Structure 1
Amino acid sequence: MDCTAAPQVIEHLKEPLNFTPFDTRWVPQSARFVVLGQYPRATGCIWVCQLNKGKCEKLAETEQPKGFKCGTFGASSIEDRHLATGDYVGGLAIWDLENMKKPIWSAKGHDLIVNAIDGCGGLGVGSGAPELVTGSRDGTVRVWDPRTEDPVLSLEPVEGETPADCWTVAFGNSYNDAERCIAAGYDNGDVKIFDLRTNTLRWDTNVRNGVCHLQFDRKDIRMNKLGVSTLESTLVVYDLRTYHPTEGYAGRKEKVTKSTLWGAHFLPQNREVFASCGGNGTITLFKYSYPEERSIKDKEGIERGVAGTVEMLNQKELSTQPVISFDWHMNKTGLCVFACLDQTCRVAICTKLHLY
């Protein structure tokens, strides 16, 4: 492609941290963002800051007894903008950023660390009740309604087997009040999609490497695409519109960098563009293109999906350490915040994305 027209990844600011960051999230419809992590003494930190004239202005910092691993605003209303977090001892909590002395809701979510959390039904994204989903090292995936203290649904590993560590979870298919799915990725390479309406396993596959992150391209439409990021730099994008009884969903596999792929995050303003986070400190921008026909009939006349193509738009190395979390701004196209294991939090601007 024409390099002069390619989108650029420009680092806007870099903020050193006195703790190890594990997750970053924009506060919806604002210039603020939160960074979650763990101090060297194994206590937790929630750090709230704001962009102000090209600088990062710290608004609040709170220290809690246990380190934080993940967070989401996905189950909160736009008016409240409450942050839901998962910590190192399996605890769940919801915080009011204006008063973080103690959580407004908490529960003992899992026996071991909560690796991942996602929310749906809040922020005007997705239909139905606001819910959280969590995945843990104990192998369980649980769905929570913040109005109650007990899980709405708990997906447990088979008794007697060594449980696979659940590394990532995501909501999708929430296009009306009845439909909703969750996807979960595990350290043994398993990817599972559960249908919450029918309470069944809709599909499972194995991508041969530990699944670090997965995300539906949109939560509030019929299942369309699923981006899966794994160890050993493999990215798989599945087309979820056509299911084949024996072959499942069609997918496109790509090798991105020579290191772990920590995530693939779809642009909120354009679901065909996404950014991947590399273990070598790179942010890579991609564009997904659909095939002429998204499904064809096999010899028996059964519809089978056809995977699209993935094109790299640009790549930029921004750190010497892995980029472990990433979040696009919902309102400002191309504005992103991410955390690196060199104990920094950075804000970057990706230009020209409106051209794709």
Structure 2
Amino acid sequence: MGITPRAKGIMQVYEMNRGDLNLVSEVEKPNGIKCGTFGASSLDERHLATGDYVGKLNIWDLETDAAVYGVQGHSSIINCIDGFGGMDIGYGAPELVTGGRDGCVRVWDPRVPEPVLSLEPGEGQPARDCWAVAFGNSYNDQERCVAAGYDNGDVKLFDLRANQLRYETNVRNGVTCIDFDRRDIEMNKMVVTTLESKFRLYDMRTQHSEHGFTCLAEKAHKSTVWLCRHLPQNRDLFMTGGGNGGFNVYKYHYPAARTKPAKDEAPVGVVGTVELLNSRVISTQPIVAFDWSPD
């Protein structure tokens, strides 16, 4: 999915046939498509949720090419989207989260036209582009959180059950992607990728009242790190995609102890190490999208 030279949206469906990619369907839409996810769709329906360049959130039935849901989600381009709860994984109702150029992060229930939660810039504050959103911590029917990353390096973690900001920090460069190692368990690890060839890995099990979550920073790709995706079958393996057209595969190694006492005797998290397993440049263009198969 994406945008054509005529500024129209386009969606293509391919199938694998004995090692070859065959185009099954190609559909044009009125507006360029910026982002999409199957995360809130069941395995039977396979409805694709998309955010476009004019701020519209749509859910498409790929079999009939009909929009089964459509709202004006943001006042301008929807930069990022994530979905959870629809693929028989984890707990809670199916929900979508979107982040836009207007600085807003909105959580949507596909059954109602209004957002169930809207996180907006404070009055008088400048609106920073939200570039990345991700669901996590959905380990029962009540708990769920949303992580959001912004163009100025802000990273914010919102607790949806408590309806409050749980944690915020700044990583000094624009945030391009956020990925939890698994979203259907208590928060364990979270990777934040940024401009200027860096990613940060946070240990999310222990939050200190002053120091927050412990993290490590790594340089990668010698260019923007555009994405991170954890392997569904092994949450300690993850892939990053870079502006150099390359992929890096990393393995996370846990520390001997995951907490230690801080000066105030409260536990503070201990982060492990990452090992680069493989690196390969496969394109002359940046790698901006990638996903693993859960099969």
Question: TM-score band (shorter)?
Answer: over 0.9
Q: Which runs of 4+ in 1 moved over 6 A?
A: none
Alignment partners' CA distance in 2, 1:83 and 1:231: 28
- Tell me the residue number matched to 2:247: 283
- Tell me the residue number matched to 1:133: 97
Percent of pairs identical after alignment? 57
Alignment partners' CA distance in 2, 1:202 and 1:124: 27
Q: Which of residues 253, 260, 264 in structure 2 aligns to 1:296?
A: 260
Q: Which of residues 233, 245, 248 in structure 1 aligns to 2:212?
A: 248
Q: Aligned-pair distance for 1:78?
A: 1.1
Provide Cα deviations, 1:3-28, integer angstroms capped at 9, x if missing partner: xxxxxxxxxxxxxxxxxxxxxxxxxx
Q: Aligned-pair distance for 1:212?
A: 0.3
- Tell me the residue number matched to 1:312: 276
Q: Aligned-pair distance for 1:81?
A: 1.1
- Tell me the residue number matched to 2:288: 324
5+ residue gaps, structure 2, are none
Q: Aligned-pair distance for 1:126?
A: 2.1
Residue 3 of structure 2 is aligned to residue 38 of structure 1: yes
Return 74-83 or 270-279, whichever deviates more: 74-83
SS of structure 2 residue aligned to 1:79: coil
- Tell me the residue number matched to 1:105: 69
Q: Aligned-pair distance for 1:135?
A: 0.2
Q: Please tell me the residue identity of whatever aligns with 1:75.
A: A
Residue 123 of structure 2 is aligned to residue 159 of structure 1: yes
SS of structure 1 residue aligned to 2:196: helix
Residue 187 of structure 2 is aligned to residue 187 of structure 1: no
Alignment partners' CA distance in 2, 1:300 and 1:281: 46
State the TM-score, normalizing by the size of structure 1: 0.82
Q: Which of residues 163, 174, 177 in structure 2 aligns to 1:213?
A: 177
Q: Aligned-pair distance for 1:249?
A: 0.3
Q: Please tell me the residue identity of whatever aligns with 2:45.
A: D
- Tell me the residue number matched to 2:45: 80
Q: Which of residues 30, 38, 42 in structure 2 aligns to 1:65?
A: 30
- Tell me the residue number matched to 1:117: 81
Residue 226 of structure 2 is aligned to residue 265 of structure 1: no
State the TM-score, normalizing by the size of structure 2: 0.99
Alignment partners' CA distance in 2, 1:52 and 1:252: 42
SS of structure 1 residue aligned to 2:124: coil
Instruction: State the structure with bigger RCO (CA 8 A, min sep 6), 1 or 2.
Output: 1
Q: Please tell me the residue identity of whatever aligns with 1:63.
A: E
Alignment partners' CA distance in 2, 1:82 and 1:199: 28
How many residues get paired?
295
Q: Aligned-pair distance for 1:257?
A: 1.8
In angstroms, what is the RMSD of aligned CA positions? 0.6
